[in-house]
Structure 1
Amino acid sequence: MVVTLIIVCEVAFWVLLAAGLVLRYPARKPRLGAAVLLCEPLLEVVLLAVTAIDLRNGAEGDWKHGLAAVYIGFTVAYGHYMVKWADGHFAHRFAGGPPPVRPPKYGMARAVHEWKMCARSVLGAVIALALLQGAVWYVGDAGRSESLTQWQHKMLFVIGISVVIAASYTLWPKKPKTPSGEPRDPAGARPAGREAAGRETAGH
């Protein structure tokens, strides 16, 4: 039942998002559209309540309850970001708004973007960790909550990977490539190897 409800919540998230934006822009009913979008958090509340009831009724804290905690955590962390992204596209398409700003691709601007995404992932993982720990305490039996503890280890791994990815863009900023496929120097200069080759050719 928990897995089915997770799927229902995911489908309902996108249905409510689409319905709210259609009402807000093509139908020109912004208040009604906003009201529909405000229903989004209720999905996580319902999932949390059903998961808690299932555990209270004696269900073993297995991977399904862990998945529910992870789903809630990352939906909370990324939900507003996804709504804002979709809203920008709808506003541009149906209300003459400016084109959505694309994430930067290169340099420190890309690194900053990656750290922001990292922060969202860490937030989602921390929320999931808290919910998982709450479920462990709620079950009150280590033998019935081992799967929940394993999910906590996975969330710690997610945090570590997210930080490593963001740090890699800071330590080794991605650079745009020249038409020949070589990385372009930030100041616009050609790579040293090409300059040397050019001087050698000129000497002949």
Structure 2
Amino acid sequence: MRRHCLALAVVLALPGCLYKPIPDPELSAQDAAWMAMVPEGEVDRLYARYLIDDPTGEAPGTIVVETKQRQLYYVLPDRKAVRYGVTVGDEAYGWSGTARVFRKAPWPDWNPPAEMVKRWPHVHPMKGGPANPLGARALYLADGNRDTLYRIHGTNEPERIGQAASSGCIRMRNIDVVDLYNRVGPDAKVIVR
């Protein structure tokens, strides 16, 4: 009985050892002030940022989004990855495929596409800042040389991380998108599954 209890304790403790928390990136004074205006509350451990063994099998520098799991992986060397929780497109607006990062922007302006304005006439262009839906950073995605109009970006709704609630973009907690932004190189490959 004692051996079974010990084995069970080891099995239950093991998953905690597989996930290594990653410290928050350094922030500028403006980043810290604006991000404080979008309180994140308690982060569900399932969607927290961790260093893990790479589950994707992709090359280092690749971003992989697993939409069903609501997880984004940034692949590192030595078969490791950084895992982030995300919000994905709801069923009507979700997408999958391969793209590349063609532009990166801090506190980007938001210019909603015409299709979105048609669906929701109340949306309008907005300067970058804490109320902006794109949040602290944005990675702009292209298919070849064509802008897909999809982004990986921060959010002003961190409580929706882990849900299918966007119009197709991949949303991240602002502190997480800053961390990813600092890691991603030009023309990084993005795979959305």
User: TM-score, normalized by length of structure 1?
Assistant: 0.20
Identify the structure with the greater strand proportion: 2
Could you say which structure has the larger radius of gyration? 1
Higher relative contact order at CA 8 Å, sep ≥6: structure 1 or structure 2?
2
User: TM-score, normalized by length of structure 2?
Assistant: 0.21
Identify the structure with the greater helix proportion: 1
